[in-house]
Amino acid sequence: MSGPEDTEWLDALGGKIDADIAAPGAATQPGLEPRSSPLALEALVLRKFIQSQESLAAPEVGAADAAREQSLIERARTEGLLRRPFIADARVRYAAAAMLILAAGLGLWQSMLPPAETLRGTVNGIVHLEARDPRALKRRLTDELNAVDVRVLGYERLGHIGIDAELPQPVPAAIAEILERHHIPVPADGVLTVEFDAPPHQ
């Protein structure tokens, strides 16, 4: 609001204009500012109404009625506004049960499979590891040794895939931990040779 009439309306509502000044005949009385606009009179009427409402007592709030609340809830359910959880979630429960059965079956199937990797032994200084995916195991061991600054050379010969590496002496704990995780004995001379084979039935 920015006009003079708007300012006059706000002044009247805020009590800054006396009711006598805003009366219709006040504009012609000498010494008084012309405050008899319809907006000023409207604001005074509104102010008087607000003041009369402040004196009224606040309505009392009724006490809680548990029976009525339950009745309203049941009515909402009947009209489809609410759904009973044991009905609405039936499909969710069936899906969860199916997932549990699937997980149990998968665990049993995995327990019947051979281990991901197995130490078959050491022959002529060469460690033989058996794995369902020999190439993947070779890549994983190579990456782990490279991460601790061990230079690894891969090879394929006579149908076997393997790696050669020369380990620092004494063998640091980080490298020993990798070897232990893969069931590889720490070589006494620091020369590590590992070959990776698939299980005989593959």
Domain boundaries along the sequence of the chain = 4-54, 64-113, 117-197
The amino acid present at 79, given as its one-letter code, is E
pLDDT along the chain (202 residues), means of 10: 67 69 46 56 78 61 71 77 56 66 62 62 88 91 94 90 94 93 91 90 59
Per DSSP, what are the bridge partners of residue 194?
Answer: 127, 163
CA 139 – CA 150 distance, rounded (Å)? 14
Length of the chain in residues, anyone? 202
Amino acid 104: pLDDT: 67
The predicted pLDDT at position 63 comes to 60
DSSP label at residue 121: E
Cβ count near 8 (within 10 Å): 21
* Separation in Å, CA 152 to CA 41, 96, 166: 97, 47, 8
Question: Which pLDDT belongs to residue 97?
Answer: 67
Report which of 136, 133, 184 is spatially closest to residue 165, judged by C-alpha positions. Answer: 184
| Confidence (pTM) | 0.43
Amino acid identity at 14: G
Per the CB < 8 A criterion, the answer to whether 187 and 164 are in contact is no
Residue showing tokens 């009366």: 23
Distance CA 106, CA 119 (A): 25
